[in-house]
Structure 1
Amino acid sequence: MLPVQKDQVAANGLLAFLLTRASREYPDFTKLAQRLAELYGASLNADVSKLGDVQVLSISATGLSDRLTLNGEKISEALANLLCSVLFNPLLENGQFPRESFLQEQRQTLEMLDAEYNDKRIYAKQRCEELMCAEEPYGVGRCGTKEQIAALSREDLLPAWKRLVETARIEVMAMGDCNTTRIYELFCQAVAGLARGEVRHCTTENVAAARTVKNEVESMDVAQSKLVMGFRTGIAIPDSRLSAAKLMCTIFGGTPHSKLFLNVREKLSLCYYCSSQLNSMKGIMLVQSGVETKNIERAKEEILAQLQQMKDGDFSEDDIIAAKKSLCNSYKTLADSLGGLESWYLSQTFASTVRSPEESAAEINAVTKEEIVEAARLVSLDTVYSLIGKEGSAQ
């Protein structure tokens, strides 16, 4: 984990994917793939994301449970060693990352950004966040811009790797049927051999309330217009009122029983879809909708009207019960996938107290209507982004 910095995110993002291609121990993609095959078809993956104003570079290995191996092999230990190999002993040629590997990952990263641009729902959400947080680190894309990626040279990657191993905050997560103690020991041994400096402090700037409302309209040749409204909630990790804010967002637009779905979409037919999502790290709430161009203003007015009803306490006990059940069920299903648990505990690294999904469900169930109303009254409109397209069928 590293603080989001505009001049470093592109190199950091590309580096995460590049590291999974080879290491000194496995000096080409074929040898690395062969090793994964030997480990009962294990997989090695990379991802880049943001947690608030923090850039998260994730490299993960997934494999068979130790107890299911044919000859008692310690798959979890082997995967831990493999991760240490690609992270801390990368393959270098003449003191730089291999040119061909760099060029391939650069091309694939550009293609990934193109795919996000072509998905206008994703694009509209990202544009609203960029506009909303233009003066904050969060306004920078998780991998930077296409121009930044294209401008990189392979000589930029080695300094980025050194910066990573010397100053990044390192979190090790071991999940599933494995020897977590041994995995921790192996990573401690690997890190002990690094030239670690002062670990960079990872914090997130949270703006309590909108100062002014920003409006932007963009035109493209798309079949369905998009309306994204960004709100400041004044509540973010580690605020004790976060459970109330989550319930407020869920009743407002988080489920098929929510105000936005039942009224803006179903009753008034103003949107093809309309939902709200809370970013607990940044304390911002986005309302995303797909609309016909002629209905944008009406949809915006009705979304704000439904928010005002939340502030006025105009929702029932049944609404609260349904929202609590929805959130608690989502916490229960986290255990169904290792990826879900990983995401949960990764976000918990910035909380004042690490809570399990079960503990958080208990907190949700203890929230009162008055606390939900109080959370709603803190919400303020910050940014309205409209992507205007031609009339037509939903895309």
Structure 2
Amino acid sequence: MTNNLPEGIHFNLNQNDKFKNIAIAIDFVEPIKENHLEQRTMVAEMLENYSEKYDSKLKVARKLAAMYGATFGANVFKVGNQAVLRIFISFINDKFLPDDVKLIEQIADFLKEMIFYPLIINDSFPVKQFELQRDNLVEYLFNLNDNKKYYAARETKKLFFENDTDNAKMVFGDLPALAKLKARETADYFQKMISENEIYISVDGDVENEDVQPIVDLFRLNDRKHQVVLMNSHEDLRSEKNVEKKAQQKQSQLDFAFNFPVSIKSEDYFAAIIFNAMFGGSPSSLMFTNIREENSLAYYISSSFNSTLGFILVQSGIDGENDKKVIELVKQQRDKLINGDYSDELLNKIKKTMVNSYLTKYDSQRQMLNTVFINSLLNREITIDEWIKKIKSISKTDISSVAQKAELKTTFLLEGETDE
């Protein structure tokens, strides 16, 4: 049965009959401080594209097509102080196939091949395939610098986390280190990941435990240590920086990083997400209305709240000569939220929008799997009704209290040389 899995290997099933597909996420989790981000990035690339049996991308694609168009992939991301490598697969439920087709069993065989029998020859990934994947990825990541909005956000985060080594790292690690990564050392790391990483298996679909048993049985591996997930904000390490750079472009990017010591596990989490929505996280926000619409001082402006690292990032596109005005107006919008200087109508509108947005995520199996995984990782559970009730209960006083925690630490101006 699906219980009695080895220590450090977890299974969670979210049953619903909204979808014809079954979606599965298999998450390998380890602390960021282990410093394997580059290796994990390349392991994900190799696991997605090759195995012993399917030793080319074409063979993988053909196998997926033969399994009624199943979708398969691998990616990396971070949650708090943990690095995650996710294997994702989505496939049509056996209930919608001919009686003699047992697709789940085929999927289990495919996952066994792709995860546990990667294309490793003589203890190394094949150098030719490895270096092709690595070099293509490095070129793609390097070219992201041409996207000035992305570049400004990345530089702002680097400045903000300058004294916080683990959190300063990009999810793919250090680009020069990634470019030098070797096939054999990455294969060695893969074996370590399989034997030591904590594993979370999350399933969404119209199935019972026994239906997905062939997949769960793949992970009756050795015990592994349970990782403690921390989501503290390290506010004492947050860097106070104000940096300006020039760029050959018309528009300027002005970004801000606010220390915001609130996490998804904090008591004031729900007040914090409403604060962010009213600050700049929605089209009805104060920044969008007062800075972009009324004063025409920004081409775009928005905020995002990272609840695993405890900070708010504000991104804006402006004319460079308006930077001082925009900085002052951003501070003023935070002060309005501290002082309750906004209408009840706006607050109610934001709450309604947030509830509707929250409910729409249940139309996506990927979003559902994210929720299942995060709740399991954090040992946290909240029903839809509880979430909505908490949102509706937030008052102006709650928002004022949490708004006072938002402390501007870093500003980064990428100034266009020919602003218009």
**TM-score per shorter chain, which class?**
over 0.9
Query: Deviation string for 1:66-119 (max 9, x for gaps)?
Result: 222134423334324322321122121122112222112102321331342222
CA deviation after TM superposition for structure 1 residue 385, in Å: 1.4
Q: Report the equivalent of 1:236.
A: 263
Closer, same or farther: CA 304–176 of 1 in aligned 2, 3 Å = same
For structure 1, the 5+ residue unaligned runs are none
Q: Cα distance 1:274–1:210, how it changes in 2: closer, same or farther (>3 A)? A: farther
Counterpart contact for 2:232–2:309, Cα < 8 Å:
yes
The question of 1:38 aligning with 2:66 is answered: yes
- The answer on 1:344 being equivalent to 2:367 is no
1: CA distance between counterparts of 2:237 and 2:298? 25
Taking the aligned partners of 1:264 and 1:210, their CA distance within structure 2 comes to 30
Q: Cα deviations across residues 20-68 of structure 1 (Å, max 9, x unaligned)?
A: 1222343433332222111011121111222233222111112222222
Distance in 1 separating the partners of 2:37 and 2:175: 12
Show the counterpart of 2:361. 334
Corresponding position of 2:278: 251
Q: Does 1:151 align with 2:167?
A: no
| SS in structure 1 of the partner of residue 333 of structure 2 | helix
1:151-170 aligned at under 5 Å gives the runs 151-170=180-199
Q: Secondary structure at the match of 1:173?
A: strand
Whether the aligned pair in 2 keeps the contact of 1:59 and 1:83 (CA below 8 Å) is: no
Structure 2 residues without counterparts, runs of 5 or longer:
1-28
- Alpha-carbon distance, 1:155 to partner: 1.4
Asked if structure 1 preserves the Cα contact closer than 8 Å seen for 2:233 and 2:260, the reply is: no
Match of 2:86 among 39, 50, 58: 58
Aligned partners of 2:291 and 2:355: how far apart in 1? 25
**Is 227-236 or 30-39 further displaced after alignment?**
30-39
For residues 30 and 210 of structure 1, the distance between their equivalents in structure 2, rounded to whole angstroms, comes to 48
Matched letter for residue 167 of structure 1: E
Structure 1 partner of 2:146: 118
Number of aligned positions between the proteins: 391
Question: What is the rounded CA distance, in whole Å, between the counterparts of 1:91 and 1:116 in structure 2?
Answer: 29
Which of 179, 196, 202 in structure 2 is aligned with 1:173? 202
Partner deviation per Cα, 1:313-359 (whole Å, 9 max, x = no partner): 11221121011111111111001111222233333334442224443
**8 Å CA contact 2:161, 2:237 repeated in 1:** no
Out of 284, 289, 314, which is 2:316 matched to?
A: 289
Using the alignment, how far apart are the partners of 1:190 and 1:135 within structure 2? 41
Is contact 1:276–1:285 with CA below 8 Å preserved after alignment? yes
Structure-2 separation of matches of 1:331 and 1:259 = 21
User: Compared with structure 1, are the counterparts of its residues 259 and 176 closer, same or farther at alpha carbon in structure 2 (3 Å cutoff)?
Assistant: same
CA–CA distance in structure 2, aligned partners of residues 200 and 166 of structure 1 = 14
Q: Distance in 2 between matches of 1:203 and 1:384?
A: 26
| Pair 1:268–1:278, CA change in 2 (3 A) | same
Q: Is the 8 A contact 2:232 2:261 kept in 1?
A: no
Correspondence for 2:394? 367
State which drifts further: 78-87 or 277-286: 78-87
Partners of 2:163 and 2:239 within 8 A in 1:
no
Deviations 1:249-279 (A, max 9, x none): 1111122211001101111111111111111
Aligned-CA RMSD value: 2.1
Residue in structure 1 matched with residue 131 of structure 2 by the alignment: 103
CA shift in 2, pair 1:342/1:391, >3 Å: farther
Q: 1:100 to 1:328 in 2, by over 3 A?
A: same
- Name which of 153, 159, 167 aligns with 1:138: 167
Structure 1 counterpart SS, 2:198: coil
SS at match of 2:48: coil
State the SS of the aligned residue for 1:108. helix
Task: State the distance in 2 between where 1:5 and 1:112 align.
Answer: 25
Alignment of 1:290-305 (within 5 A): 290-305=317-332
Please show how residues 350-361 of structure 1 align to structure 2 within 5 Å.
350-361=377-388
Q: Would you say the 8 A contact 1:49–1:57 is kept in 2?
A: yes
Matching residue within 326, 333, 336 for 1:309: 336
Alignment of 1:193-208 (within 5 A): 194-208=221-235
- Higher mean displacement: 49-58 or 64-73: 64-73
Q: Which moved more, 1:98-107 or 1:289-298?
A: 98-107
Moved more, 286-295 or 28-37: 28-37
Q: Which residue of 2 aligns with 1:82?
A: 110
Give the share of equivalent positions with the same residue, in percent: 26
Q: Once structures 1 and 2 are overlaid, which stretch shifts more, 28-37 or 381-390? A: 28-37
- Letter of the aligned partner of 2:142 in structure 1? D
Distance 1:318 1:209 in 2: 37
Asked if structure 2 preserves the Cα contact closer than 8 Å seen for 1:313 and 1:373, the reply is yes
Tell me the equivalent position of 2:294. 267
Deviation at 1:10, TM superposition (A): 0.7
AA in 1 matched with 2:305: L
Check conservation: 1:209, 1:379, Cα contact below 8 A.
Answer: no
Pair 1:129 & 2:129 matched: no
CA contact (8 A) 1:312 1:373 kept: yes
